[in-house]
Structure 1
Amino acid sequence: MGLLQSKQCGRDIWLTFKDLCLVSPPPGSTILVAVVILASLYLLQVYRRKQRTTPIRGPQSPGWVFGFAKILLNSTATTELYERWAREYGPVYKVPDVFGQSRVILWDPKAISHFFARDTWLYNQTPFNKIVVRITIGRGVLWADGESHKRQRKALNPAFTAAAIRSLTSVFHDAAHKTVIAWDAEIELNQRTHCAVIDVQQWMNHISLDSAGIALLSHDFGALDGNDSDVAHVLNAFGSPAKISNLIILAQNFPSILKLPLPRTRLTQKLRLIVGKICQEMLSRTRQEKDTGGAEQGDKSCLGLLLKAEGSGESAGLTPQEVLDEARVLLLASFETTSVSMTWALVELAQNSDIQKKLRDECLEFEPTPSYDDLTNKLSYLDAVVNEVLRLHAPVKEIPRSAMQEDVIPLSEPLRTADGNFTESVCIPKGTVVVVPFAALNCSVSMWGPDAKVFKPSRWFEGDEGTLGARETLHGYRHLMTFGDGARMCLGRLFALAEFKAVLFVLVRNFVFEMADGPDGSGMQIVDGLGTIPRPKVVGSEAGSVPLQVRRYEV
């Protein structure tokens, strides 16, 4: 009732002011009155909004200018911070941000489920993210919200069904076997030790780039054959660990800063141009083949489906510019996230020799070239290892969204507010930035038990009644946040899982992986680097390389 009265009061004040202006041009005193009225109206709206907003708790700001923004963006300890704050302030809390503003963090499973059910509609990407995505890859499915997102997603869906991915499995096996041949050659050069120190991050990048090029865009970049390309260079530079500058942090609240010629912005624009040029060439070639009735190669990849969607008409399908933007999305999204996950898998196996042996035994007992259905349904320990890597090392650490209108978020348990009361829901105003911390939730004790920080594939075979209920409310893949949920759940998850499993199957059958400083790896620590999608890195090293000792497996 108070809200309706406030709105009616505001309308009455505005109508009175309009009537006053229509009678005669307002003299100076009338302008002053008008300013006072409008200021009063604004303050009234602010007051009413504050009255409705739930006063949630959170940590004290370390500084008014940056809040916790610098700490969270330039730190590898965000998982521990988010979980500690959830224990201290409850499953929904606020974290001080730039210039005294705050972000709301969702830790409550019911609240997160509510959020994902309204993603792209009630919750849109923040203005900062919209600009970054547009600069990097254009106005494709990662940029769009609402009806535009729904339309673009519908056009892309056929390319990522199980039937579509089933036909691509041979591409992943071929990439893995090319890697085996290359690594064998490196090991042969070391006759004395019969092993080689290999930068597995670089090789996983090669596998991801070639697999994405062939499977999605009908183009072989030849990275596994040693071919150099502008695309590979700019993708590697874009994903390299780098400290985030103060200007980029401020741009989270003032996106216009991104128009400045910052080094990261220039690299982003270069990435968009180079990837766009490559994708445009592929699209032109595929259109030509289609028009001349030539080979149907493009129709077996995403390109053919994109062009089919383009031809269906602008209202229901994709515009020519959107087709180009979607091609950029496919290449970039499939390259970075999967290569990071595969690298972490090899690191974890190198650090856990017993798990590596158990996985190798399962793979050796199976036929050398498993089908998509075999990888999905018949290799249970491989599935567990992959799930555990995705749980412990989510490539995307968190997602921020901006509330497009006021929302009331339900909770699974009562929350103590800043004024000492308890509430079963949280009211947040329009414009609030809401964050779901994917990586922290995947490793939280409340969701996964006291050994949540331990790499333990066997947990996927064990019943865990103590924390299962909390996880079941989350409807993502295997109750993980790695691929997200809702309307924006990762479109390429089946592609990523098939590639991950196929490559790991081949590599672990053929090689033994150890840490570069010895079997126990006690002297070399590998952690997440910094960046939008943090790559693993050796502590003390700025380079994005991950050296492991690799030797041929001998029966």
Structure 2
Amino acid sequence: MKTFITIAIPGSPSSLWATVRSVGTFNVACSFAALWTLVKVIRALRWRLRTTQLRGPPRTSFVYGVSNDLISSKDNATMYEHWAQEYGVAYKIPAVLGQTKIVLSDPRAIAHFYARESWTYVQTPLSLMLIENLVGRGLLWSQGESHKRQRKALTPAFSNAAIRKLASVFYDSAYKVKSAWDTDLESSKDGNAIIEVQNWMNHVSLDTIGIAGFSHDFGSLDGKHASVTEVFDSFGNSPQASALHRVFFLLGSAFPIIAKIPTKRTKLSKKLNVTMGEISNDLLLRSRREKDVNVKEAEEEKSIIGLLIKAEGQEAELHMPEEEVIAQMKVLLLAGYETTSVSLTWALIELSRHPDVQTKLREELLAFGADPTYDQLKANLPYLDAVVHEILRLHPAVPEFSRCARVNDVIPLSEPVCTESGEMTDSISIAKGSLIVISIRAINRSLAIWGPDAKEFKPDRWLSEDGISGKAKEVQGHRHLLTFVDGPRTCLGKDFAIAEFKTVLLVLVKNFVFEMRDGPDTEVEIVRGILPRPRVVGEDGIEVPLRVRRYE
């Protein structure tokens, strides 16, 4: 005897099938989530077994660790320094979704790290994605042998001999600013004017890299608004990231694919990438056509654009495909616009806050007389050199540096640290996959490294051997600073940037007196453009209005 059981299911057959599919999809999603969790647990256990377990601050957020605290802070360098004082020269911080980062604040450990950078320590997946979205697969993106090849191809353009020939370009840009400001001051009733200096410094840097690097004048100092300047400026006009973008950025360290979600800022990055790509392509096409016109091959190959065209040739020893060539041009455009202009703006702010330093600098420049040559800029103006390097110390354009360990490593320390278990160790084991962080701003301003006046703007520290002493001398990198990082990825344009910085500052300080518009105690904050930038509190965008008058 057969028994039949009838089950009544409401709805049509199509809704039943949709329900079955929904359950199936849910199960698949759960399986992937379980697999992802299992992989993460295994990796975490392996990491814990192979990595020295250091002490560090407690997690303040279950999801974000202390990452949200760091990006929300007005001065996270102080947080890093406080943790170093409490936990030692190497410590760990809890990050997003259970991740852990190891922070190095020890000169010996940092030197070891940078010496192996680009091979042992490589870009994080999130960094690679963000860099590619912004400027493509050029020098900033590449690693290992690829980075070595690209860098070697461009190095001749940044030699002393090459930069020496560009001194006139730096002066031309500086004197264009002087001429424009003279015009403004002539029309003022009381001999002074309020000038928003950051925008001017942006355009100085952009026009200079355009002419010096690509034989192209963007004309931004003459009031022309090329497409690239409009996109660059759009970052500054809305520097604060939205709350949603901040969440995406934080979670991106665990899920890099999030960086491709089209937020307002990622759309802006893509637009900048496309715009710089179009301009770079036009400049490259024009330079190819002009390759044999009025330019000797030997001279051409020492310019940036000449070296790129040479590298593009199939027979070139350091061959670059067109994609890489365009990417290098975008990197140089971006660097030319951002880094030097940030430093120049900070220099004018600090000189406005410290009129005694401004006066002393002006006296040195006026006593020297005529505009110095490139070699004289390097060797004959010690106080100008001191002011420039004090700005680079206090206000590095890139404040933080993160990398991922590609293989296991052991990092030596100059002083022992106490581990989580209470043992003392003078080296730390790093497992493959470990995230390493160096706060450049914290190291450059560290009381433990630079002494009790580390936070002060004090150019005189650079004028004597005693000024840079103790642990500061143990910091490797340009002049004991991490501003240009160190090792295989030391900033290729370092000497170019310093020469431009000195030239523009020299011309401006010789001819003008700068004051904070609302007095020396005017509050300045750091906001996010493409890189962190200064802004007078209460102003829109990234504006830094200063009171300017002629020096007479």
Q: Normalization by structure 2: what TM-score? A: 0.89
- After superposition, residues 151-162 of structure 1 pair within 5 angstroms as 151-162=149-160
Structure 2 residue 84 is the aligned partner of structure 1 residue 86:
yes
Q: Deviations over 1:252-282 (max 9, x none)?
A: 2211012221111111110011011111111
Of 195, 199, 202, the match for 1:202 = 199
Q: Which amino acid aligns with 2:455?
A: K
- After superposition, residues 300-449 of structure 1 pair within 5 angstroms as 301-311=303-313, 313=315, 316-449=318-451
Mapped to 2, the partners of 1:407 and 1:506 lie a distance apart of: 48
Q: Counterpart in 2 of 1:36?
A: none
Q: Which amino acid aligns with 1:194?
A: G
Q: Counterpart in 2 of 1:121?
A: 119
Q: Counterpart in 2 of 1:17?
A: none
Deviating more after overlay: 279-288 vs 72-81? 72-81
Q: Counterpart in 2 of 1:538?
A: 536
- After superposition, residues 132-151 of structure 1 pair within 5 angstroms as 132-151=130-149
Is the alpha carbon distance of 1:431 and 1:184 closer, same or farther for their aligned partners in structure 2, counting shifts above 3 Å?
A: same
Mapped to 2, the partners of 1:179 and 1:149 lie a distance apart of: 36
Of 191, 214, 218, the match for 2:215 = 218
Mapped to 2, the partners of 1:190 and 1:541 lie a distance apart of: 22
Conserved 8 A contact 1:55-1:417: yes
Mapped to 1, the partners of 2:349 and 2:443 lie a distance apart of: 22
Secondary structure in structure 1 of the residue aligned to 2:333: helix
Q: Deviations over 1:446-498 (max 9, x none)?
A: 11110000000000123338x72422332201000100000110000000000
Dislocated runs of 4+, deviation >6 Å = 39-45
Q: How far does residue 526 in structure 1 lie from its aligned partner after superposition?
A: 1.2
Q: Deviations over 1:338-387 (max 9, x none)?
A: 00000000111111111100100111112332110011110000000000
Mapped to 2, the partners of 1:143 and 1:128 lie a distance apart of: 11
Mapped to 1, the partners of 2:178 and 2:469 lie a distance apart of: 39
Mapped to 1, the partners of 2:169 and 2:78 lie a distance apart of: 39
Q: Normalization by structure 1: what TM-score? A: 0.89
Is the alpha carbon distance of 1:253 and 1:542 closer, same or farther for their aligned partners in structure 2, counting shifts above 3 Å?
A: farther
Conserved 8 A contact 2:405-2:436: yes
Mapped to 1, the partners of 2:131 and 2:443 lie a distance apart of: 25
Q: Counterpart in 2 of 1:278?
A: 279
Conserved 8 A contact 1:334-1:492: no
Q: Counterpart in 1 of 2:69?
A: 71
Is the alpha carbon distance of 1:310 and 1:40 closer, same or farther for their aligned partners in structure 2, counting shifts above 3 Å?
A: closer
Q: Which amino acid aligns with 2:107?
A: P
Conserved 8 A contact 1:198-1:548: yes
Q: Which amino acid aligns with 2:427?
A: S
Give the percent of matched residue pairs that are identical in Structure 1 and Structure 2: 49
Q: Deviations over 1:20-77 (max 9, x none)?
A: xxxxxxxxxxxxxxxxxxx999978764542332110110011111122122123221
Q: Counterpart in 2 of 1:506?
A: 507
Q: Deviations over 1:153-184 (max 9, x none)?
A: 00010110111100001101011101011001
Mapped to 2, the partners of 1:79 and 1:267 lie a distance apart of: 28
Mapped to 2, the partners of 1:239 and 1:483 lie a distance apart of: 23
Mapped to 2, the partners of 1:45 and 1:277 lie a distance apart of: 43
- After superposition, residues 468-487 of structure 1 pair within 5 angstroms as 468-487=469-488
Deviating more after overlay: 308-317 vs 344-353? 308-317
Count of residue correspondences: 510
Q: Which amino acid aligns with 2:263?
A: L
Q: Counterpart in 1 of 2:97?
A: 99
Gapped runs of 5+ residues in structure 2? 1-36
Q: How far does residue 251 in structure 1 lie from its aligned partner after superposition?
A: 1.1
Conserved 8 A contact 1:239-1:336: no
Is the alpha carbon distance of 1:197 and 1:461 closer, same or farther for their aligned partners in structure 2, counting shifts above 3 Å?
A: same
